[in-house]
A and B are shown apart, each in its own frame.
Chain A
Amino acid sequence: MTEQIRCGVDDWVEVEGILLETADRSKNLPADTAAQPLRMWIKGFAQAEANVGEEMTVRTVTGRTVTGTLSAINPGYFHTFGKPIPELVHVGRDLRERLAAYRADGAGAGAAADEKAGA
């Protein structure tokens, strides 16, 4: 599927802009952050047709108008869970085994046994 590069009026889009240039930023920043401008992204309804990369204005859901560079059309969310973590996959099996062994051992009367005894 090819990425849409031109939005129409009233399309749901995202614009990007610079809130503070490096010279205007707080003086209290570590060097790596101070070297970068403070940027922002905001979504809204396109007020005119535009191509990705062009300057345009959106009306946000609160009704504000914000001008920036068109950065995405109908932007989505693609965060996931990802693959299981190999260092964690054994945790459930190991802990269930431990619990079973502890409860099987008469000396280790656990919470479940407390309950049976009416504690």
Chain B
Amino acid sequence: MASKFDEIMARRGEIMRRALGMDYSQFERSPIAFDYEAMMGDHGYSLAQIKEIQTKAGVGNTPLLELKNMTDLVRSISAPGMGARIFVKDEAANLAGAFKDRRASVSIHVAKEKGYEGVIAATSGNYGAAVSSQAARYGLKCIICQETFDSRHVGQPEIIEKSRICEAFGAEVIQMTVGPELFFHMVELLDQTGYFAASLYSSFGVSGIETLGLEVAGEMKALIGDYPTACVITHAGGGNTTGTARGLKCAGATGTQIVSASVDLSGLHMASDHDFNRKSFTTGHTGFGVPFATWPDRADVPRNAARPLRYIDRYLTVTQGEVFYVTEAMCKLEGLERGPAGNTAMTAAMSLARELPREATVVVQETEYTGAGKHHWAQLNFAREMGVEVRLGDPAENKPGTVIVIPERPEQIHANDFDLDRMRRSYIRNAVKAAPADYEPTEADIEFLAADTNTDSETAARLAHEAKEA
């Protein structure tokens, strides 16, 4: 007999089609390829219109700040002539405290226009706060499905804070124990309520982030007369990277290097009840970053609008201890007390700026709100309670879930390059595997795979061939 889980998942396509108000099948071109740009443009809003929606919603136009003290700190530990200028886009200034407001503002606007009574999202992060806040403004009902607790009913303080803020904005929060069936329950509720699926991965949400790239480009041009050398982006599901990069390119900043950054959580299982409370980070980590980049269509929409491999030039990883150290440094040197996960890119930017000449510029494109629970002290105190060792030392000795090593000196902060070719290979293998076994990729499929992994046709063809052989 089919389980309740299997029954709902079997009807998932039909439920999601109604809940998204969009038929994704029109974009499919083959068992492998689909028309990405047609999907992204289907909502019909221009970037200027999205900007207008967001301005009315209290979202966007956040301050771009130069971090002169962080820059000098980097220069004090760099070779002569090195140490790029560091800037940050203070996204915590958005209505609900994070760049996720950009995503939610467009999704909720669409839900209202299409006449839905309410919205549902599955998220344990800032996106829940963003959806709840925008739903409150638009007068829509809101349900947030949240992975909150381990089986002992213990939750990370950062996630408990997210429950609180969603409820503060009048959302119904369903707090659950660990497991990917969070999405099963979301689909079940969409079926039951007829609400709109405010997916993180719809084209509405990802288009909403394009304004962030647009603002970074325009504000840097106005401030220093040029586009940034590099834009560093905290990377989880890939929407932040995708949207920001698209916005930068749309503004003409085609030479800006797109650098994604995640906290290294290798060794921890994302669906493990035991590991759940030993991550010390709820987002911006490799546990989302790698699987979603290498198989974006694992998301809750038929085709994910967040396709970061199209845009990433470099993918840097940093350790938990380094991010907590930099979060503390940002408070003390820049007067910016912000949430730790949002400082993942800042940590990578410190390392990157050391490699670049003084004339270069690095923009960190987000911060997030902080407060009780959602704070580096709260997360570290909780890690200790969970039996994770916290000590000073060389961050290279950091081991997720076992020991968090806080650097003793800023010189020890060093981001590591994640092998992008390995990610491309993995993505193409997943794409080929998702097609029927007897399906032979066509020339058009190869073109699609090359674009989707930002590589050339020969490489894509070779990797597709290898994947077929395997």
User: Which A residues fall within an 8 A CB radius of B?
Assistant: 19-20, 23-26, 28-30, 32-33, 35-44, 60-64, 77, 79-85, 87-88, 91-92, 95-96, 98-99, 101-103, 108, 110-112, 114-115
Question: B174 touching A42 by the CB < 8 A rule?
Answer: yes
Of chain B, the residue at the smallest CB distance from A23 is: B3
CB-defined contacts of A99 to chain B, threshold 8 Å: 69, 72-73, 76, 333
Whether A26 touches B180, Cβ cut-off 8 Å, given contacts A42-B175, A62-B142, A102-B72, is yes
Task: Tell me the minimal C-beta distance from B127 to chain A in angstroms.
Answer: 18
Question: A81 touching B372 by the CB < 8 A rule?
Answer: yes
Q: Can you list 24 pairs linking A and B with CB atoms under 8 Å apart?
A: A20-B184, A24-B5, A26-B181, A29-B179, A29-B271, A30-B273, A38-B179, A41-B176, A61-B170, A64-B172, A64-B193, A77-B163, A80-B372, A80-B378, A82-B382, A83-B381, A91-B328, A92-B332, A95-B329, A102-B73, A110-B76, A111-B66, A111-B68, A112-B72
Question: B372 touching A103 by the CB < 8 A rule?
Answer: no
Task: Tell me the minimal C-beta distance from B191 to chain A in angstroms.
Answer: 13
B376 at the interface (CB under 8 A from A): yes
Bound-state CA distance A25–B66 (Å) is: 49
CB-defined contacts of A112 to chain B, threshold 8 Å: 68, 72
CB-defined contacts of A36 to chain B, threshold 8 Å: 151, 177-178, 273
Among A95, A108, A110, the residue within 8 A (CB) of B333 is A95
B256 at the interface (CB under 8 A from A): no
Given A30-B271, A95-B332, A102-B76, 5 extra CB contacts under 8 A: A33-B273, A77-B160, A79-B164, A88-B377, A111-B68
Of the listed residues A26, A29, A64, A88, the one surrounded by the most CB atoms of chain B closer than 10 A to its CB is A88
Tell me the chain B residues, 297-338 only, with Cβ under 8 Å from chain A: 324-325, 328-329, 331-333
Task: Tell me the minimal C-beta distance from A52 to chain B in angstroms.
Answer: 14
Bound-state CA distance A64–B164 (Å) is: 20
The 5 closest A-B pairs by CB, nearest first: A92-B332, A79-B373, A82-B381, A110-B72, A102-B76
Bound-state CA distance A47–B269 (Å) is: 40
Of chain B, the residue at the smallest CB distance from A14 is: B175
Of chain B, the residue at the smallest CB distance from A36 is: B151
Question: B118 touching A62 by the CB < 8 A rule?
Answer: yes
Question: B185 touching A91 by the CB < 8 A rule?
Answer: no
Bound-state CA distance A46–B274 (Å) is: 33
Interface residues as binary, B134-156 with A (CB distance below 8 Å gives 1, 0 otherwise): 00000001110000110100000
Task: Tell me the minimal C-beta distance from A23 to chain B in angstroms.
Answer: 7
B429 at the interface (CB under 8 A from A): no
Among B148, B271, B332, B406, the residue within 8 A (CB) of A87 is B406
B420 at the interface (CB under 8 A from A): no
Number of B residues, CB within 8 Å of A = 68
Question: A43 touching B331 by the CB < 8 A rule?
Answer: no
Of chain A, the residue at the smallest CB distance from B391 is: A87
Interface residues as binary, B177-209 with A (CB distance below 8 Å gives 1, 0 otherwise): 111110011000000110000000000000000
Task: Tell me the minimal C-beta distance from B453 to chain A in angstroms.
Answer: 25
Question: B172 touching A62 by the CB < 8 A rule?
Answer: yes
Among B4, B75, B164, B269, the residue within 8 A (CB) of A77 is B164
Whether A98 touches B73, Cβ cut-off 8 Å, given contacts A25-B181, A80-B157, is yes
Of the listed residues B72, B192, B382, the one surrounded by the most CB atoms of chain A closer than 10 A to its CB is B72
Task: Tell me the minimal C-beta distance from B137 to chain A in angstroms.
Answer: 16
Whether A30 touches B269, Cβ cut-off 8 Å, given contacts A42-B173, A61-B172, A87-B390, is yes
Bound-state CA distance A102–B72 (Å) is: 8
Among A64, A77, A81, A95, the residue within 8 A (CB) of B375 is A81
CB-defined contacts of A37 to chain B, threshold 8 Å: 177
Of the listed residues B160, B175, B192, the one surrounded by the most CB atoms of chain A closer than 10 A to its CB is B175
Task: Tell me the minimal C-beta distance from B94 to chain A in angstroms.
Answer: 22
CB-defined contacts of A91 to chain B, threshold 8 Å: 325, 328-329, 332
Whether A20 touches B76, Cβ cut-off 8 Å, given contacts A41-B175, A77-B160, is no
Question: B71 touching A111 by the CB < 8 A rule?
Answer: yes
Of chain A, the residue at the smallest CB distance from B188 is: A19
Bound-state CA distance A102–B69 (Å) is: 11
Question: B73 touching A81 by the CB < 8 A rule?
Answer: no
Question: B176 touching A19 by the CB < 8 A rule?
Answer: yes
Whether A33 touches B381, Cβ cut-off 8 Å, given contacts A43-B167, A95-B332, A103-B72, is no
Bound-state CA distance A1–B148 (Å) is: 28
Question: A19 touching B376 by the CB < 8 A rule?
Answer: no
Among A29, A44, A88, A98, the residue within 8 A (CB) of B376 is A88
Whether A33 touches B176, Cβ cut-off 8 Å, given contacts A81-B375, A95-B73, is no
Task: Tell me the minimal C-beta distance from B6 to chain A in angstroms.
Answer: 9
